[in-house]
Structure 1
Amino acid sequence: MAPKTIGLTGGIGSGKSFIAEIFKILGIQVYNSDINAKLLMSENKQLKNGIIKLLGKKAYHSDGQLNRELIAEKIFKNKSKLEKINNLVHPAVREDFQNFVKKHKKHQYVINEAALFVENGSHKDFDHLITVVAPEEVRIERVMKRDGVNQEEVVERMQNQSSDESKMKVSDHVIFNDASENLFVQISSIHQALVK
């Protein structure tokens, strides 16, 4: 029997990667869509060609690695280019995740972690969706510290994502990562529900 597929999402800086690490401690296999998307963008020939066609040869450095600064600059300010690159990357990531699920078929469930499941409608592809939420000011502070960017840049990125409220509406489980509730208790109760 195939394992249940669980989407783990949350806005930028909500702490979803930290939550994913806790699930890993519980022995759950976690697929990180963002990390794997970057790998595929560097290693998948078909995807690479599509990106070069869309953004030009400068989308890659001479060593074949992704020119992330240039790509971010081109797509975050241009909704149409952002949409086009997502239409190239998402199908490749979806296929890669399907292979990941097959590889871990002995598990009761596997997790796919990404920021934009609700925005791109792919949250419907999962058996369950978990959303991690945290106060906006906490998220801004975390991202500024993590990425070395200013508040304006973080807010700009946040505007490309849907609100916590809209994510929570379509979620089966919500984790409050704001120190008001114990994280381990929340994760443990979701884990128990998923292994039933």
Structure 2
Amino acid sequence: MTQNDKNSRSAYHQAYEVIRDRILNGDMPGGTKIVEEKLAAELGFSRTPIRESLRQLSNEGLIVNKKVVKPTEKDLRNLFQVRILLEGFSAKSAATYLPEEDLNCLSKCIEIGRKGTAEEIMDANERFHEVIVQSSGNSLMIETIDRMKSTIYLFRKTVVLYNRPRLIDEHEEIYEAIKARDGEKAKQLMEDHLKEDLDFCLHILRSER
């Protein structure tokens, strides 16, 4: 790889992270029209890394039809249907395959969920689900969830910042089922947990209209 190639990749990563963070932090709210030239001038990048960044953000579902995504109820339901299927299976796998080290990690995530700052809780919530998904050992499933990660973040932010009831209690119940190596129970608890997340996000979405 030449130095120019390295510089190009570096510019792409920087531009991608800046634009993604602006979307996730609400600085570019849902519905904002994306103008490539304007973003390039504003952020100080050439148009090529901006274009590559926007393509990646489109793949992740954060940009749709050159606008920042403004999820509908249907979008929300579709996202959670996929998560329920994949993460339910992953929880069942975790009950069989998750090593002691990762069990300890889940326990730590629950502890942070009860005592941490909002940002720490967000990170711990993401890590909790990530560890369980990784336990599936299915690279296609892991990649599918990974591609959805940024959109999932938007809804995870909703359940944490609006203090969804029993969020961490449900994590603990899932953890206990995995620790007890009860795959069917872990699967059911994860599915129920995500359905509660969905119902809560739908409630917030409707109340903000």
Under TM normalisation by the shorter chain, which class is it? under 0.3
The alignment's TM-score, normalised by the length of structure 1, stands at 0.26
The alignment's TM-score, normalised by the length of structure 2, stands at 0.24
Structure with greater contact order relative to length (CA < 8 Å, sep ≥ 6)? 1
- Greater gyration radius: 2
Quick check: which one's helix share is greater? 2
